Structure 1
Amino acid sequence: KVEVTTGSMTQAGTFNHVCVTLIGTRGVSERTKLDKIGPDLETAMKRVYNAKTQLPLGKLLLVKVGKNLYHCLPDDELFYSKIVVTTPEGESILFPSYRWLIGHRKHQLIFKKGLHWIEDEFYGYQFLNGVNPNAITKCSELPKNFPVTEEMVKPFLEGSSLQSEMTKGNIFIYDQKKMEGLPVRDYEGKPLHVTPGLCLLYVNSKQNLVPIAIQQLHQEPAEENPIFLPSDSETDWLLAKIFIKNADALNHQAVTHLMRTHFLAEVYIVAALRCLPEIHPIYKLLFPHFRYTLHINTGGRKSLFGPDGALHTSSLGYDGIIELMRRSLAQITYSSFFLPENITARGLDSIPNNYYRDDGLKLWNIISFVKTMVEYYYPTDDDVRKDTELQEWISEIFTHFPTCFRTVEEVIRFITMFIFTVSGQHSYDYCSMMPNYSLLLRKPPPTSKGQSTKETILETLPNVGEAVGFATMAIVLTGNYADKVFLGNYPHERFDEPVPKKIIEEFQAKLANLTKEIEQRNSAAEPPYIYLDPSQMENSIAI
């Protein structure tokens, strides 16, 4: 049985034909039309339908929803709140959505089963494929301030030793040293706490990345700063993971998301608008990737940093967020913006199940279509050096990174990085579930083991009103809207020469092939990784 709940907002229902397909580990159901006597899928409606399947599906993984036009009626949008599937064995499985299904025919909405955020496997998975996949590095030697012993972690290394696994390249580390001493805001008259913690992770025999040790209170080891282990009490271990994820959430929103995509893109765009005329080939190439960014950044400064904004009300507050961004900006290297070099520098070339890396590198190589485009307009390095408008653009962007373009290759690298930053690097999810991704924790980390309870966890997490505010921000930042322009689409024709037009067509074809590759892999992946699918990502930072 399939129970479908539509949203309560105006025009959340649809007159279109809607069909569902259930996908399990052992098979796929027939495509079932949601059609019963009486009205179907109106606003604020809950209806139950029977899905048809000839064979057992096994463990249910996905629900695919698609819609088609109904006779001559116009296409309309549909807002799904959730789908609950009840198996023949009586198990009820929730597939939350809370988003719009837009378009018809091949447009499909994929519902994922609610993931178990508590599990160590999913915790580690997010460091590779979650909102902030640039946070861990390979660990070949433990930092002196993180005194994890062989005895501590031996039970979690499947008969091996820590030194042996480091030698094999199976140990990784998350280190938030830059958060040490950051200003925090007061909450009910007391200062909050943000952990500059360390987390050690291990790639096990199932090729899952899992946490095996966490030091959360501060960087220096001490009796009141114990190292928590998976063998500790369930609530102790869960709290340790929550505090690390709190630091990661703050770093993601302030640095990875806002600073490294929104604000740096704004610098590139403003400089381009000031320095490049509209007829300049680089302006024409990049203009579709400017769409809405300045508008969204202007509004975002108020909605995120204002008195009631999500970052203002986070554990760090306004002053702490600004200081975190200042420290991070001072540590940025130019090479870290280039995905292939970033992956190699962090030692993630061969770690398994890293879909961000796999899809990202393929996307990066496809975006390198700019090589052919740039070489068409700049046949030689001398042509680059003589373009005063191009040189003025890059010199206005950077002060301690490259302040001029000397070669064609340098232009190609920068433009590839720019397009990847505003498209692939800006795609993410998993941030609307508060325990899994909380910008605010109300209590400090425990200073000893065995003292925490479930009540401690509830008292630490945001209250209901605060959680709703943060979740609303996350939903807005990852939501759908009607006029998206996806990567590779150029609604306004700016090039009239045959060669650039041909180059763009080839770029679009390669993006379509990547989408097919990702869809094929995702048919057997749990959870499916869709965030670097070109058909799912926008041309620009538009939200």
Structure 2
Amino acid sequence: MIYGRGLLGKMIKSALTSFLLATAAVQASPALTERHLENARSNDAYTLPKSDRNPRARAAAIEVKRKGWQYSEYPMGVAYYPTGTLANKTIAKDQETWLPPILKISEATTRESPIALEAIKAKGGFKKLEDYANLYDGQWEEAFPGGPFEGMLTNFTDDRMFSMMRLSASPYRLKRVKPSDKLPFLVHNAADITGISLDKLQAQGRLFLEDFSEMKELDPTDKFGAGCQAYFYIHPKSGDFLPLAVRPIVKGRENSALVYTPKDTENDWMLAKMLMNQNDGWHTTWAHITQSHSAAEAPYLAAIRTLSDNHPVLAMINRIEKTPWNIRPLLEDGVQSGAGPDAGPQYYAWTSLSGRQWANQVYSSGETANFQANYYRTFLENNGLINCRYGPALKSFPFYEDASVIVEAIRDVMTAFVNSYYPNDNAVAKDPELQAWQRETDVAKVYDFPKSIKTRRTLVDILTHQAYLGGIVHGVMSTNGAIGDTTSLPFAPAGFRQPIPTKKGVKDLMAFMPTPEGAVWQVVTYAAANRAMWRDTNETISYMFEDETMLNKMNPVTYQAAKSFKAKMDAFSKEVRARTFDKDGLSRGMPFMWNVLDPNWAPYWSVV
């Protein structure tokens, strides 16, 4: 999330006002045709159009929905946002589910933040990086119990912490450098660090790049940051994935940008790593709005406008896309409030308006919006992270290892579901509502959606990806993911109090670091998305398909596939929770315990 305690209060007030106004409007102006639509809904089994007993009524009901769910522009997230009497009624109703957890977290942070601040001050404040453990120790019992993931507070000086975060918590901008690529910068002492030259690392497919250099163009606040580029590499002997160099770039100082490596002083190298982490934290905060929310909402809105409420495919998507329409308005309120003169303390390096503009650019470029290109295997293959033909495989890839278990289990459900309703590809091609949905995605401006839905495989891919966006992408970039890794202190400050150095030789790192007030702000800001209380509840990935009302209207094959999924996820959860550190203090090559995708902890939907 992107707001702190004072800002959260304003936004909740705004959300409550919107909820009451929308509810009043719906109650005051019920449309007769829409009442007929609601009354027509029954407990009958879901059916495909060819099996519907009353196709004319079905078609008429879809037309009513098209009038009640229309497209509108929205400043946050680029993708169309729904409007219309039916849409507004749904959005208002969703607030009943969505607001209580937000209010509960707000109450918790309001109560717990002053206590945490006093505890930090009682222990002498922050005099060294290790003191940031006092920010979490015994604090945030409700808002953020347990603090960052095990190892984050104790092993942040280990270079493997820095590198392996890219293969777990933040894999989305990491790319393997191709032998033919032009390098963005040179590292003259690469051989001293890796054992072979930079050219040989590239030629052997061992070199990786994470590039956030465009962030140097963002509008600054009174805090400081840089747009960074970083190299990582697969060690030619050990096979470990390690950091090679970080290059922070400040606007106007591009030609004099410094290149930091592990051979620099401890302070210089630590500052460089934290600057890179700042970029990843910003990416997590803002890109997730379009990478999970907008990317899923656009095809969903098109589906609502074209598929009957009695269509099993829409029923499945409705389950996956739980209350999706509340998020962007709340975040937009945060942007506007954050731009005001009375917005309160600001610890981001860049303005909230810049955040919105940057997120919209990332979406409009196709980076986060392209539907098929972001299928998880396609995305990872295109970035050279799996199945690479010109370099060695990664020895450990925790994000892929965990995500693949869950996504392939989702695919099993979707395959059983689709195959049980469509006996062959021809049946898919002849479903008029599916074909209308595909055509509508052009109107809805869904980037890179399949050009046709003529095979069962295509439909399975689409549905699997919709579930992946909410259950995996969102879980890693927000919810219980970001607060425990990419936005945790001291390793990932949101902003720095001193300008980015023009020369090496930093003497005092603490002069750059957040104050106690700034540290508390950072926890409060990201606790708004945390759902620690949902651990082992029916809001988690294990319960993605556990909706008895829906399942009782599906066919027996789908029902059994859903139950099998639940059993698989429960078993995987036990495996995740049994993980320990090995004799070298590592978990899957990481000096921290990354268990974000525990299926009985991670929510199955895009919460916030």
Q: CA deviation at 1:170?
A: 2.6
SS in 1 for 2:564: helix
Question: Hey, what's the Cα distance between the residues in 2 that align with 1:97 and 1:170?
Answer: 42
The amino acid that maps onto 1:328 is V
Question: Hey, what's the Cα distance between the residues in 2 that align with 1:415 and 1:252?
Answer: 24
One of 354, 358, 362 as aligned partner of 1:320? 354
In structure 2, the CA distance between the partners of 1:366 and 1:156, relative to structure 1 (3 Å rule), is: same
Are the counterparts in 2 of residues 242 and 436 from structure 1 also a CA contact under 8 Å?
Answer: yes
- Structure 1 residue 425 corresponds to structure 2 residue 466: no
Question: Hey, what's the Cα distance between the residues in 2 that align with 1:416 and 1:310?
Answer: 42
- Structure 1 residue 336 corresponds to structure 2 residue 336: no
Matched with 1:7 is: none
Q: CA deviation at 1:206?
A: 4.7
One of 259, 263, 266 as aligned partner of 1:234? 266
Output one character per residue of 1:209-232: Cα deviation in whole Å (capped at 9) or x when no partner: 322212212599966222122222
Question: Hey, what's the Cα distance between the residues in 2 that align with 1:522 and 1:338?
Answer: 31
One of 244, 257, 275 as aligned partner of 2:306? 275
Are the counterparts in 1 of residues 416 and 557 from structure 2 also a CA contact under 8 Å?
Answer: no
Matched with 1:453 is: 507
431-440 or 140-149, larger mean C-alpha shift: 140-149
Which stretches in structure 2 are left out of the alignment for 5+ residues?
1-110, 117-132, 387-392, 476-480
Question: Hey, what's the Cα distance between the residues in 2 that align with 1:423 and 1:125?
Answer: 22
Are the counterparts in 1 of residues 529 and 607 from structure 2 also a CA contact under 8 Å?
Answer: no
The amino acid that maps onto 1:209 is F
Question: Hey, what's the Cα distance between the residues in 1 that align with 2:463 and 2:303?
Answer: 12
SS in 2 for 1:174: strand
Q: CA deviation at 1:441?
A: 2.8
Give % identity: 17
Where do residues 68-217 of structure 1 align in structure 2 (5 Å cutoff)? 96=137, 112-113=150-151, 114-130=153-169, 132-141=170-179, 144=182, 146-149=184-187, 151-157=188-194, 159-180=195-216, 182-187=217-222, 194-204=225-235, 205-217=237-249
Question: Hey, what's the Cα distance between the residues in 2 that align with 1:254 and 1:378?
Answer: 39
SS in 1 for 2:232: strand
Are the counterparts in 1 of residues 497 and 513 from structure 2 also a CA contact under 8 Å?
Answer: yes
In structure 2, the CA distance between the partners of 1:147 and 1:301, relative to structure 1 (3 Å rule), is: closer
Output one character per residue of 1:115-160: Cα deviation in whole Å (capped at 9) or x when no partner: 4223321011111112x222211124496563424x4122211x33
The amino acid that maps onto 2:540 is F
Matched with 2:576 is: 518
Matched with 1:406 is: 454
Query: Cα RMSD over matched residues?
Result: 3.6
In structure 2, the CA distance between the partners of 1:301 and 1:358, relative to structure 1 (3 Å rule), is: same
Are the counterparts in 2 of residues 312 and 318 from structure 1 also a CA contact under 8 Å?
Answer: no
One of 326, 342, 357 as aligned partner of 1:295? 326
Q: CA deviation at 1:174?
A: 1.1
Question: Hey, what's the Cα distance between the residues in 2 that align with 1:161 and 1:311?
Answer: 46
468-477 or 435-444, larger mean C-alpha shift: 435-444
In structure 2, the CA distance between the partners of 1:133 and 1:522, relative to structure 1 (3 Å rule), is: farther
TM-score (norm 1): 0.71
169-178 or 366-375, larger mean C-alpha shift: 169-178
513-522 or 118-127, larger mean C-alpha shift: 513-522
Q: CA deviation at 1:247?
A: 1.9
In structure 2, the CA distance between the partners of 1:378 and 1:100, relative to structure 1 (3 Å rule), is: farther
The amino acid that maps onto 1:339 is Y
Where do residues 345-384 of structure 1 align in structure 2 (5 Å cutoff)? 345-349=382-386, 350-369=393-412, 370-384=414-428
In structure 2, the CA distance between the partners of 1:98 and 1:266, relative to structure 1 (3 Å rule), is: farther
One of 259, 284, 290 as aligned partner of 1:259? 290
Are the counterparts in 2 of residues 173 and 201 from structure 1 also a CA contact under 8 Å?
Answer: yes
SS in 1 for 2:528: helix
One of 484, 493, 501 as aligned partner of 1:438? 493
Output one character per residue of 1:344-366: Cα deviation in whole Å (capped at 9) or x when no partner: 11111221221101111222211
SS in 1 for 2:243: strand
Q: CA deviation at 1:540?
A: 0.9
Higher helix proportion (structure 1 or 2): 2
Output one character per residue of 1:89-138: Cα deviation in whole Å (capped at 9) or x when no partner: xxxx9995756699xxxxx99972434223321011111112x2222111
Matched with 1:88 is: none
Matched with 2:277 is: 245
Q: CA deviation at 1:407?
A: 2.4
- Tell me how many residue pairs correspond in the alignment: 440
SS in 1 for 2:467: helix
In structure 2, the CA distance between the partners of 1:469 and 1:252, relative to structure 1 (3 Å rule), is: same
Q: CA deviation at 1:305?
A: 5.5
Question: Hey, what's the Cα distance between the residues in 2 that align with 1:449 and 1:245?
Answer: 19
In structure 2, the CA distance between the partners of 1:343 and 1:145, relative to structure 1 (3 Å rule), is: closer
Higher relative contact order by CA 8 Å / sep ≥ 6: 1 or 2? 2
Which stretches in structure 1 are left out of the alignment for 5+ residues?
1-78, 83-92, 103-107
Q: CA deviation at 1:508?
A: 1.8
TM-score (norm 2): 0.64
Are the counterparts in 1 of residues 471 and 606 from structure 2 also a CA contact under 8 Å?
Answer: yes
Q: CA deviation at 1:432?
A: 4.2
- Structure 1 residue 469 corresponds to structure 2 residue 469: no
Are the counterparts in 1 of residues 248 and 257 from structure 2 also a CA contact under 8 Å?
Answer: yes
